[in-house]
Amino acid sequence: MKLLEERILKEGTVIGNEVLKVDHFLNHQIDPVLMQAIGKEFARLFEGLGINKIITIESSGIAPAVFAGLEMGIPVIFARKHKSLTLTDNLYSSTVYSFTKKVSNEIAVSKQFLSQDDHVLLIDDFLANGQAAVGLIDICKQAGAHISGVGIVIEKSFQKGRALVEEQQIKIESLARIASFKDNQVVFVEE
């Protein structure tokens, strides 16, 4: 997605050759105009698959997921990472290990909002090692829901996340694919 790549080049900063900071429009300050375009692009890429629900994970997945949900006219569920006062039982849960942060997080979704009748699109802001995606896929499987696709805003193609999704024969679309960070510059995957 050209518009997104331009924003990454203009406003992104590379940290330590492995992390892209995009706090101007995605991870801290959010640009709703860009998010709307991202939502439209996800809706286009996953059209005609009978998708009736979107699942993401708090917090940075919520903005792109909600704009896709708005465009597709379907609800968005976000998996919670922290224990909730009001969300205590009847949960699907999975453990997500972050290689970056070296911590495990329990993620949870209420059984009320996910079932075997659902055809789910999984959306997230970043795909790195794929552990968040794998956790969300696990939760969908526990519910018996069909996973219709995975939509990612920014994929770091040099990490193993994409392979983990493809391995399960799930359709994956990433709006920006980063091949490498060379001399602190972003190099995109050639189309």
Cα–Cα dist 174/128, whole Å: 12
Cα–Cα dist 64/94, whole Å: 22
> Tokens in use for 90?
């009847």
Provide the CA 118 distance to its chain's centre, in angstroms.
18
Annotated ligand binding at 145? The verdict is no
Annotated ligand binding at 17? The verdict is no
Annotated ligand binding at 27? The verdict is yes
Annotated ligand binding at 130? The verdict is yes
Residues that bind ligand G4P (CB under 6 A): 19-22, 27, 59-61, 98-101, 125-132, 156, 161
To the nearest whole angstrom, how small is the minimum distance from the Cβ of residue 78 to Na ion?
A: 10
19 vs 74, beta carbon nearer ligand G4P: 19
To the nearest whole angstrom, how small is the minimum distance from the Cβ of residue 137 to ligand G4P?
A: 12
Which of ligand G4P, Na ion, none lies near 99, with the C-beta cut-off 5 to 8 A by kind?
A: ligand G4P
Q: Residue 152: name the closest of 73, 76, 77, 61 by CA.
A: 61
Provide the CA 157 distance to its chain's centre, in angstroms.
14
Three-state SS at 189:
coil
User: How many CB atoms neighbour CB 142 within 10 A?
Assistant: 15
82 secondary structure, DSSP code: S
65 vs 120, beta carbon nearer ligand G4P: 65
Annotated ligand binding at 43? The verdict is no
99 vs 112, beta carbon nearer ligand G4P: 99
Do the beta carbons of residue 121 and residue 54 sit within 8 Å? yes
148 vs 174, beta carbon nearer ligand G4P: 174
> Tokens in use for 107?
């993620």
To the nearest whole angstrom, how small is the minimum distance from the Cβ of residue 58 to Na ion?
A: 8
Total length of the chain: 191
Do the beta carbons of residue 165 and residue 129 sit within 8 Å? no
Residues that bind Na ion (CB under 5 A): 60-61, 124-125
Which of Na ion, ligand G4P, none lies near 19, with the C-beta cut-off 5 to 8 A by kind?
A: ligand G4P
To the nearest whole angstrom, how small is the minimum distance from the Cβ of residue 91 to ligand G4P?
A: 18
To the nearest whole angstrom, how small is the minimum distance from the Cβ of residue 119 to ligand G4P?
A: 23
Positions at the binding site for xanthine: 20, 27, 156
